[in-house]
A and B are shown apart, each in its own frame.
Chain A
Amino acid sequence: MESKAQTSAKPTVRLYSRGVFVGYRRSRETQHPNWALVRIEGVKSKEDVPFYLGKKVAYVYKCKTLKQGKKFRVIWGKVCAPHGNSGMVRCQFSSNLPPKAIAQQVRVMMYPSQI
C-alpha cells in the first residue's frame, strides 16, 4: 500500500485453533513421548476431528537467548489421528515435546487446507 504510515496498526489475526498439550500417549505406568495428546478448543467429539487431521501444529515457547534474532522458538508437528471419542487428537512432533509443555498451549494451524 502506498501510505503505510497512515494506515492503522495491523490488527492481530489469529489463524490457528488453540489447543492444549495434555500429555503423552500412555497406559497407566508407561508413556510414549513420541505421541502427544492434544485437546483442541471446540472439538468435542470424534466426528469433529476429521477437519483437523493432517493440520500442522506448533508448540511455541520463549527463551532468553536469541536464535536467528528471535526469542521465540517453535516445535512443529502435525495432527495424526483421533484419540478416543471426545475429540482428543494425537500429534507427532519433529522432536518430542518436552514435559514442561504439558498443559501449555499449542497452535493448530489451518493448513494444509482441504477446503
Chain B
Amino acid sequence: PKATQTRNCTMTKTKNSLSRASVRRQFPNTGKGEWYNADKAPTPLKSRKANHKPTRLRSSISPGTILILVAGKYRGKRVVFLKQLESGLLLVTGPYRMNGVPLRRVNQAFVIATSTQVDLAGVDTAGVTDALFKGAKPSTKKSAQKDFLAAEAAEKAPVSDEKKALQKKVDAALAKKIKAVPSLKDYLKSAFTLSSGQYPHNLKF
C-alpha cells in the first residue's frame, strides 16, 4: 500500500485550514486515512506553567491595613500590612518592637483584615523583596549525615544583618505613623482572641 500521498489544495489559506501542501496518511488495512497539514510541524500546546497571573489581593486588604494573623508562629498578633510581594505573599511587620513580629511573609488565607488603617506615607519598603526571605540552599551532597548537620546549622543561623537593617529602617518610619494615631500602639501590642460569646460569623473586623 502507498505510504503517503500528497495533494495540493487550492483552498485559500486561512489560519486553521490546510496549507497548500498536505499529506495523506493511510491506514493499511481499512484504506481509511486522514489528511494532515504537511507544512506545519505540530506545535505543542501553550504551556501555562510560565503564565502566572498575579495573586489577587482581597479588596479588604490595602497597604497600611492592620491584619490579624490567624495561624502560624505569630497567631493572634495584630500586624501592619506593608505590600504584596511578587510571589503573591503579603509583606507584614509587627512592628517588631511592638509585638515581636518581624518583617515576614504571610499568605492571605491565614489573615483576617480589619478595617483599621495606618498611613504608610514615608515608609519605604522598596528594599524588601522575596529574595530576602529565601533560606539557605540545602547541600546537594549525597551524604545523609552531612545534610542533616547542614540543616541543623541552617535552622540555627541568626537573622542576617541585612534583614535587621531593613527591619529597623521600616519600623522607624512606621512607628512614627503609629504613634500619631491614639491607642493604635496598644492595639498592635494586644493579641486577638475569641472569648466566650464571641462568634466569628457575627464579629465585624
Which residues of A come within 8 Å of B, CB atoms? Answer: 1, 11-17, 41-43, 48, 51-52, 109-115
Q: Could you list 30 examples of A-B contacts with CB < 8 Å?
A: A11-B191, A11-B193, A12-B193, A13-B192, A14-B193, A14-B194, A14-B195, A15-B71, A15-B192, A15-B193, A15-B194, A16-B194, A17-B199, A17-B200, A42-B197, A42-B199, A42-B202, A43-B199, A48-B199, A109-B70, A109-B71, A110-B112, A111-B110, A113-B109, A113-B110, A114-B58, A115-B58, A115-B60, A115-B112, A115-B113
Smallest Cβ distance from A55 to chain B, in angstroms? 9
Q: In chain B between 80 and 110, which residues have their CB closer than 8 angstroms to a CB of chain A?
A: 97, 100, 108-110
Contacts of A114 in B (CB 8 A): 58
Is B200 a contact of A51 with CB atoms below 8 Å? yes
Is A113 a contact of B112 with CB atoms below 8 Å? yes
1/0 per position for B7-48, CB-CB distance to A under 8 A?
000000000000000000000000000000000000000000
A-B contact count (CB 8 A): 61
Given A15-B75, A48-B201, 6 additional A-B pairs, CB 8 A: A12-B193, A15-B194, A42-B201, A112-B109, A113-B110, A115-B113
With A11-B191, A13-B75, A13-B191 already in contact, the answer to whether A110 and B70 are too (CB < 8 A) is: yes
**A1-B96 Cα distance, complex, nearest whole Å:** 7
Contacts of B97 in A (CB 8 A): 1
Cβ-closest chain A residue relative to B198 = A42
Smallest Cβ distance from B8 to chain A, in angstroms? 59
Interface of chain A: mostly helix, strand, loop or mixed: loop
Is A15 a contact of B201 with CB atoms below 8 Å? no
Please list the 4 inter-chain residue pairs (A to B) with the smallest Cβ-Cβ separation, ordered nearest first.
A42-B199, A13-B76, A51-B201, A112-B109
Contacts of B109 in A (CB 8 A): 111-113
Contacts of A17 in B (CB 8 A): 194, 199-200
Is A115 a contact of B205 with CB atoms below 8 Å? yes
Contacts of B108 in A (CB 8 A): 113
Contacts of A113 in B (CB 8 A): 70, 108-112
**A12-B75 Cα distance, complex, nearest whole Å:** 11
Smallest Cβ distance from A31 to chain B, in angstroms? 28
Contacts of A1 in B (CB 8 A): 97, 100
Smallest Cβ distance from A4 to chain B, in angstroms? 9
Contact of B76 among A15, A41, A42, A109 (CB under 8 A): A15
**A111-B70 Cα distance, complex, nearest whole Å:** 7
Contacts of B191 in A (CB 8 A): 11, 13
Smallest Cβ distance from A100 to chain B, in angstroms? 27
For B60, B100, B112, B200, the residue with the greatest tally of chain A CB atoms inside 10 Å of its CB is B200
Smallest Cβ distance from A14 to chain B, in angstroms? 5
**A113-B112 Cα distance, complex, nearest whole Å:** 6
Smallest Cβ distance from B73 to chain A, in angstroms? 12
1/0 per position for B168-203, CB-CB distance to A under 8 A?
000000000000000000000001111101011110
